[in-house]
Chains A and B, each alone.
Chain A
Amino acid sequence: MSEPVEKENQIEDQERTQEDQKEPLGQKTDTSRMYARLLLGALLLSGESFTNLLRNSQDRVESRPGFTSTEERVHAETELDQMRYLLIGSLYQAQKYAAKGLRRGVQFTLRTTGAVLGTFYALTDNSILRPVRRPVDAALSTMARDADQVLRAGRYEEKQSKAVAQVTMDELADELIDYIAENPKVTKAIQEIVGAQGIGMAQMAADDVTEKTASGDDALEGFIRRLFRMTPRKDLPGSPIAGQHHYMYLPDNYNPEAGDNNH
């Protein structure tokens, strides 16, 4: 393939990629793509934040004056300790080997492909076999073009996704704050929740569940009694400690009604 034609092709490809990535004028991005972008962006942003957090923690730990070196033994090691260290060390070593293996694998593949292609070109570099090279050249060029397009699309999508997620989160936060500020009932409810000491949302939710199951107890009993043709029970059976708070835990001399007289 001659050089001017190759250049022309490259320019065409670039233009096509740019066209692919741009949203058509007057046409909105489709919903699934937007959600995908939001999801991807949120993942990328949270991943970045978490990595930064980890990096900061690592730096802080390493800058501590008492940070122990790898050679230092903190205390007399038992066999169990050594087994644990061996296990942890092996995990890191395995990770290193895996990364090294992957790098070597990629390098080997590239080298082998280069060698095979080099040999192929050397063997077909004559007027008789030149026509054989054409389909191979075309296939390779298409592959390279596709890969390049995917790469560019990925680069573009990552940037877009992060921006979309950032803007959406900011907007959501603003909306939420506005909503809270404009609704005194919500503000009051939040103040009550935050202000109530020792009473969590979980406690209230659990109380709600308890109340519902307690009603279920009566309903089931009523149903079973009807099923077995027993007389329906209108009243619950009386208990000797009905209405008594914390009866079993209280000291004998404690009387909640007495207030200060208790002590």
Chain B
Amino acid sequence: MAMNATETNDTRLGQYAGFITRLIAWVIDRGIILGLWWLVSFGIDFLLQTLEISNDKYQNWIVLLVILINIVIYFIYYIGSWMVAGQTPGKSLMGVRIVRTDGRRLKFHNAVIRLVGYWISSLFLYMGFWWILFDSRRQGWHDKLARTMVVYSENRVERSEQDLLLRDHLKIQREQQKAAKSG
């Protein structure tokens, strides 16, 4: 389905998201990740001082621990967000979401490949990210590798209404299941 580039956001729903939106979302996510890393480092330092554990004695282990925890946070933040909500907080703020090329929710392997793809895209002066500008489906290298695409989500006002409808639907479905079990 093709559409005119000047149409409003309503008609953008489900269309491939462009470079600026994704860049801002990426910067927001990086900011959140950096904040989390700082919190972890600060927390560990505070704990060590409270327990009077010498920094010098275990310095290498402490550095390793901080790095490990930060890597875990990085993975959980991205993979968890992509799999659970289809979007990170940054992408949610910018109104875009990530789906598989068939439009379905990401599976674990898609998410892992996409995250590894981030590092590959960062090589050669972030060439993999710049690729979004030239690609016909606005995919970066990481998207190509993980077979994913980033699309515009419905606007928030509309989504609130959709959420209410969906909530009602799920509630009725649960009640029906309960009734079927008890009956």
Contacts and interface: CB of A to CB of B under 8 A. Distances in A.
Contacts of B118: none
B151 A241 contact: yes
A80 B47 CA distance: 9
| Interface size bracket, B side | 35 or more
A224 B5 CA distance: 15
Given A221-B133, A236-B3, A238-B1, A214 B9 contact: yes
A234 interface: yes
A235 B166 CA distance: 32
Interface in A217-263: 217-218, 220-222, 224, 228, 230, 233-251, 254, 256, 262-263
Interface in B1-45: 1-6, 8-9, 11-21, 24
B156 to A, nearest CB: 4
B60 interface: no
Contact of B160 (A198, A238, A239): A198
B157 interface: yes
A194 to B, nearest CB: 15
Interface stretch (A106-114, A150-158, A201-209): A201-209
A59 to B, nearest CB: 34
B122 interface: no
Given A220-B133, A248-B103, A241 B14 contact: yes
A248 B24 CA distance: 23
A220 B22 CA distance: 13
Interface residues of A, number: 47
B97 interface: yes
Nearest to A238: B1
Given A211-B8, A236-B2, A237-B138, A217 B21 contact: yes
Contacts of A198: 160, 164
From B2, B136, B138, residue with most partner A Cβ within 10 Å = B2
B93 A239 contact: no
B50 A263 contact: no
A247 B16 CA distance: 14
Contact of A247 (B6, B99, B134): B99
B2 A235 contact: yes
Interface of B: 1-6, 8-9, 11-21, 24, 50-51, 86, 93-95, 97, 99, 101-105, 133-134, 136-138, 149, 151-152, 154-160, 162, 164-166, 169-170, 172-173, 176
5 contacts: A218-B6, A236-B16, A238-B2, A245-B154, A247-B99
